Structure formats: C-alpha cells, structure tokens
Amino acid sequence: MKEYEKILEDIRPFGPFQIRVFLLVSMFETPLAWAMLLPMFTSAKPEELCIVHENNNTTGSKQDECWDKGANGSSCHFSNSFTSIVTEWGLHCSSNRDVPNHITSMQMAGVLVGAVVTGQLADLFGRKKVLYAEYLLLLITWFGSAFAPTWQVYATMRVLVGALTGGCLVVNFVLPLEFVTPSWRTFCGCIGLWAVGLITLAGWAYVLRDWRHLTMATAAAGVPMLFTWWFVAESPRWLISRGRLGKAKKILRAAAKTNNRPVPDFTELERVVEETQHKKQEQKKYFYWHLFSSCRLVRGTFILMYAWFVSSAVYYGMNFNVANLAGDRYLNALVSGLVEIPALILVVCVNNRWGRRKTVACLMLVAGLFSFSILIIDMTDNMEKQNVLVVVFAMIGKFGISGGWAATQVFSAETFPTVIRNIGIGACSMAARVGGIAAPQLVLLGKDSKAVPFTVFGVLAIVCALLMVFLPETTHTPLSDLLKYDTSVYLTEQSVDVPLTPTQTSVESEETQPSEDLQPLAGTERETCAGESGVGKIVT
C-alpha cells in the first residue's frame, strides 16, 4: 500500500521506533536458535572407552563404534567428557543407534506443523499476540523436556518444542518487515541474532556438559524476552488490512513522536481505506489455497517452496553434521556460527545492488560447489588425510547457504500480498521444515561415507541456484497488500494473475478491491502464465 509506505517515509523509514521493534523482535532469535539446535549437543555420542582383557593383560582404547559389552572379555563405557540422551538411555547400539537422528527429524516435523498453523493464526489474531503466546508455551515445554524419564517422552516434548519454535520464527520474520519501507527490507530480513544463538550455544554446551542442565539453563535464559511485550507494537499494516485504522493510526502517531517527527497526514490513507470498504462486495477470508489461485502464484509458490526446502535441508544438515567433522565439536560449532555473520553482512551490502535473484543464485552456487567439492576430495584423496581442507570447504558451504537463505527470505516477503503474507511465509516455512526433517536423515548417509551428505547438499543447492535465474526481480518495489485478478491475462502481456478458483478464504480482510501492488509477485517483467519457458516464479 503506497499510502502506508508514504507515511513511513514521513515519520522516518527506520527511526528509533522501528529500531526498537526490530532489535527486540530479533532478540527472540537467540533463544529460538538454542531451542532448535540443542540436539547438536544433547543428541551427540561421546567416545566409548573399552577395556579388553587378553591373556591377563588389560589394554584400553577409544572406539567410535559400539562394542558388545561382555564379548571377548571386553567391557565398555562412555568417556565422561559430556552426557547426552545417548548416554542416558543407551541409544548407541543395534536398533537404537539411529533414534537420536529420528528424534531430531520428529522435532523438525513439529516445526512444520507449527509453521502451518501459526501462519493462519497470525493473520487471524495479529502478529504480536501469537508470537508471545507461542513463545511462553515454548519456554514451558522446553524446560520441561529436561525432566523426561524416557527417550519416548523426550521425543514427544521435542516435537512440541519444534512446533512452537517454528511458529515463533514465522511471526518473528514478518513483524519487523511491516514497519519499514522497501529500502530497509534487506537489512531487517537478513540481519538477526540467530547466528549469535548458535555461537553462544557452543559456549553453553562447553560449560554445561550434562544435557539436562544444558536444557534447563538455555530455557531459563530465554525468560527475559517475555518482558519485551510492553515495548513491541502490533503491525499497523496488519491492523489496516483488518480495517482497524484507528488502532493503526495510534501506533503510527507514537512512532512519529518517538522518531521526533510531526504527526503524519492520514487523509490519503483514510480515503483509500474508505473507498476499499465501500467497494467491497463481501468480506474476504484467505486460506492456503489462495497461494495457488492463479497460474503465476502456482508457479511462484512451488519454486519458492523448493528454495526454502533446499535452504533448510542444507543449513540444518550442515549444522547437525558438525559432529562428523574432524576436530573439536565445540570449536566447529562456534566457527559454524561465526561464518554466518559475514554471510549476512554480505547480503545486506549486495542485495539491493545486485538484486534479489542474483544474490540468492550466487550464494546458493557457492554453497553447492564447495559442498560438492568434498566429494572430489574424497575421490582423489582420503578425506581423513585432508581434514583441514574438508572443514574449510564445509564452512564456506555453510557461509553460502546462510546468506542464500537470508536473501531468499527477503525475496519471499516482498512477493506475498499483506492479506496472505503470513500464510505465504508459513507455507514456505512448511517446505523448509520438510527439508529440516530430511536433514538428520541426510546426515545418516554419512555412516558409510562422510562425503555422501555433502554431495547431496551440493546437488540440491546448485539446482536451486539455477532455478533462481528464471525468477522476476522485486528490488525496490512496494510491498503488495491485496490479490489482484485480471481475466484478460491470456489476452495481453500487460495483465496479471488470473484466478484458478473462486476467492473464498479464512483470514478476514476489510480490503477486497484489486491493488496495483501485487506486482512484486509478477515482478517487473509482466508476461502471461505460459511465459518464461514454463518455469515458475518464486518469491524470496
């Protein structure tokens, strides 16, 4: 809505008010990263120290594989370097060996459900209420998981933790973007404190070697975020889309005062909202199927969901695969988090200059090529002889996928209209969580060859990079607010999305008239649904 963004320009597009909202909401990312990535340490397997009695001689050795205790006069126990659910419940032999990875996949399945449900809830009840309610439930469930008596109970708790974490992440991403103008979208969409969460998690795990203590401490450390409720405002853009103009004006006046700017003129905004309400024929509700209500939306949504799937599968796969890299697990986790910071800074610096699709394509290509190169190292020389090179390539790949996912998220938010933005981000997040579910299983492929997971990561990222070439550009275009349908889409290249199904939905919106701002999905190059060699467009 251009009138709304004009008001943001008048009160400062990224003044103290927006900075406060951005920082406070971004701070949620640190505890959310702890909750999501905790299995890197709580599901880890320490080395086994086995004592073998042969001819009255006792020898000791460290083993990575499970020994059958009691066989050949041997006795085994874990080293006391740390505890985990593996040591707690003996999840290291025979049929239980893969349980920790399966629990992590179940957690990521929970994230998927949370993303789907929360996308709808946030569009119905508002961004702020849903974020804080789900975060409170997350802290309770997260802390309670430290007291699980069996691995089955623990797995159930991790599913709930995953669902609530996934829900919080959906709103956490969208809320700050609805307070700023297009020139600040890249910054707000890319810069966050998730990497800080990964870095500090390595520190938590290094200090607290008992998995129960680690779980309780990280959950308790997230409690202070609840007190930011009184300093974070609801999204005025969402309020306007719901017809609550009075509440939106109150927030915008407070923003103007905080930013030391005069109260903006709401005349044009009021006129547009009033005209929209007069012209509306029925109260709109939006469901997930509206993401597929036109040829262009179908194409864009599918490619976008694939991009998020790849981003998640490769990103979490690389995180969970840290245990299979040579060297100290805590140092590797620390470096894995550190490389994300320059990746995000790079995206901020080049995303507006290069454009969204070129930025995403280049970073995905970096992730894919360096990950795939580990297979070449394994084929030409034993990976164990090139441990340092493998770790370096893995970290460069992590750099690429971290930046690529951040740029992809910005691209996505610029594509979906306000009335279905949370639904769209929720659907993409759902696809990402399918990738997250697959990530621990991809790591399991490294049991026979440690190069296999990196090979899969490389192929997925390279294909994603190639698909990005066919996407439209959204840089410097206003955020869209409404769906726009044009039944002449097949008659002229100047038209946009033609509906495939009637528009009935579930999220109420007071706006029903078409808006020229849908163009971000169509991009700056308008064409028919059959254009661009049939390759769908995607957001992010």
Q: What CATH number labels 291-475?
A: 1.20.1250.20
Please compute the mean of the pLDDT values over residues 7-29 and round it to a whole number: 92
- Quick: pLDDT tens for 46-57: 765 555 444 445
Q: Packing angle between helix 99-125 and helix 295-320, nearest 10 degrees?
A: 140
Please compute the mean of the pLDDT values over residues 13-36 and round it to a whole number: 93
More confident site: 374 or 71: 374
Q: What share of the chain is helix, strand, coil (3-state, %, to 5)?
A: 70, 5, 25
Backbone angles phi, psi at 190, to 5 degrees: -105, -40
Share of the chain above pLDDT 70, in %: 78
More confident site: 438 or 90: 438
Instruction: Say whether pLDDT at 313 is over 50.
Output: yes
- Quick: pLDDT tens for 401-432: 999 988 888 788 777 766 676 677 778 877 88
Q: What is the dihedral of CA 343, 118, 183, 538, to 10 degrees?
A: 70
Please compute the mean of the pLDDT values over residues 307-327 and round it to a whole number: 88
pLDDT at 94: 60
Backbone angles phi, psi at 355, to 5 degrees: 100, 160
Q: Among 413, 355, 415, 429, which residue's Cα sits nearest to residue 179?
A: 413
Instruction: Say whether pLDDT at 138 is over 90.
Output: yes
CB 284 within 8 A of CB 511: yes
- Quick: pLDDT tens for 172-201: 888 988 888 877 876 887 778 888 999 999
pLDDT at 499: 33
CB atoms within 10 A of CB 69: 12
Instruction: Say whether pLDDT at 452 is over 80.
Output: yes
* Structure token digits, residue 408: 């992809």
Is the domain spanning 1-46+81-205+212-276 CATH 3.60.21.10? The answer is no
pLDDT tier, 467 (very low <50, low <70, confident <90, very high otherwise): confident
CB 138 within 8 A of CB 38: no
Backbone angles phi, psi at 141, to 5 degrees: -70, -40
CB 262 within 8 A of CB 256: yes
pLDDT at 303: 82
Domain limits, CATH 1.20.1250.20, in the chain: 1-46+81-205+212-276, 291-475
Q: Packing angle between helix 418-444 and helix 295-320, nearest 10 degrees?
A: 40
pLDDT at 329: 86
pLDDT at 501: 32
CB atoms within 10 A of CB 207: 11
- Quick: pLDDT tens for 66-99: 444 444 444 555 656 788 898 888 877 666 778 8
pLDDT at 26: 93
